[in-house]
Amino acid sequence: MWLGISGQDAVRLFWERCGEFEPFPRSLERSIALALPVTLVKLPKLKLHQVEGWLQRRGVPFQFSCHHQAVRGCLVAFGGEGLIFVDGSDPDDERRFTLAHEIGHFLVDYWQPRARARAILGHTIVAVLDGLRLPTVSERVNALLAQTPIGVHTNLMERDAGSDLANVWQIEDRADKVALALLAPPEEVLSRTKIATARFEQRLFSVTSVLRADFGLPLSAAQSYGRSLLTMVNRGPSWLETLGLK
């Protein structure tokens, strides 16, 4: 399953809470305001020290545990709510994908685990999730608690890939897939794309062009997603094309 159950649930929950489907190309800014307890903040040439300064000016003395690199986007979540910072000087297509990517993190890595913990362990677990009290012995032995973010939850969308750890890659890949499903649902993309052409290069060019023009994706995301979609519907490169013989 391309998106996975948690990803499908996240996308469904987002549009259910939104109450309407945004037309394409989607900025998601109005949809976020309708669907989630998340505030969007745009800052130029985004760096982590800018995020820290923004928070400190509002009485939140928060510091990241890494160096002050430039980032495309940043999620800071606490108390069931979130702040998404994006580089306001980025082009529209990059900013659109960054925002959708951080929504994916908020939904799948923060909101869903928190909701599961509350449903199974009760409302009193919220104080533990927010780091306001230590878990009891019985709460500590619950495996669900170990999988749920405690205290302030953060995520960074770096400008350069900096880690090749398998679990980090899986988390980022999942957020990317949620982002793509929000911005360009597979069935909608394929309905607008000519995938019956003989050569894979032509099919890939067609789907990439549609993703860029109709859905507003940045080039790298459009090319990667286009390959995944064509493979998903058995329209990827043939064996001969893979070998460079056709």
- Domains contained in the chain, CATH given: 5-183 (1.10.10.2910), 184-246 (no CATH)
**Cβ atoms of residues 184 and 217 within 8 Å:** yes
Residue 240 identity (one-letter amino acid):
L
pLDDT attached to residue 53: 93
Predicted confidence (pLDDT) per residue in 120-130, tens digit: 888 888 888 88
- In terms of Cβ atoms closer than 10 Å to its own Cβ (0-12, 13-18, 19+), residue 106 is buried
Q: How confident is the model at residue 1 (pLDDT cuts 50, 70, 90)?
A: low
Q: How confident is the model at residue 156 (pLDDT cuts 50, 70, 90)?
A: confident
Taking CA atoms, 134 is separated from 128, 129, 147, in Å, by 6, 9, 16
Mean pLDDT of 48-68: 88
Predicted confidence (pLDDT) per residue in 96-133, tens digit: 999 999 999 999 999 999 998 888 888 888 888 888 88
CA dihedral 78, 49, 156, 207 (to 10 degrees): 120
**Cβ atoms of residues 239 and 193 within 8 Å:** no
pLDDT attached to residue 239: 62
Mean pLDDT of 24-38: 96
Task: Check residues 39 and 137 and name the one with the higher pLDDT.
Answer: 39
Query: In percent, how much of the chain has pLDDT > 70?
Result: 90
pLDDT attached to residue 163: 42
- Write out the two tokens for 18: 């939104």
pLDDT attached to residue 145: 74
Average pLDDT, the chain: 87
Task: Check residues 69 and 33 and name the one with the higher pLDDT.
Answer: 33
Please give the span between the terminal C-alpha atoms of the chain, in angstroms, as a whole number.
30
pLDDT attached to residue 159: 67
Q: How confident is the model at residue 241 (pLDDT cuts 50, 70, 90)?
A: low
Q: How confident is the model at residue 246 (pLDDT cuts 50, 70, 90)?
A: low
pLDDT attached to residue 25: 97
Query: In percent, how much of the chain has pLDDT > 90?
Result: 57
Strand partners, 42: 86
Predicted confidence (pLDDT) per residue in 41-53, tens digit: 999 999 999 999 9
| Longest alpha-carbon distance in the chain | 64
Mean pLDDT of 133-145: 77
Map 122-190 to HEC letters.
CHHHHHHHCCCCCCCHHHHCCHHHHCCCCCCEEEEEECCCCCCCHHHHHHHHHHHHHHHHHHCCHHHHH
Q: How confident is the model at residue 185 (pLDDT cuts 50, 70, 90)?
A: very high
pLDDT(161) > 60: no
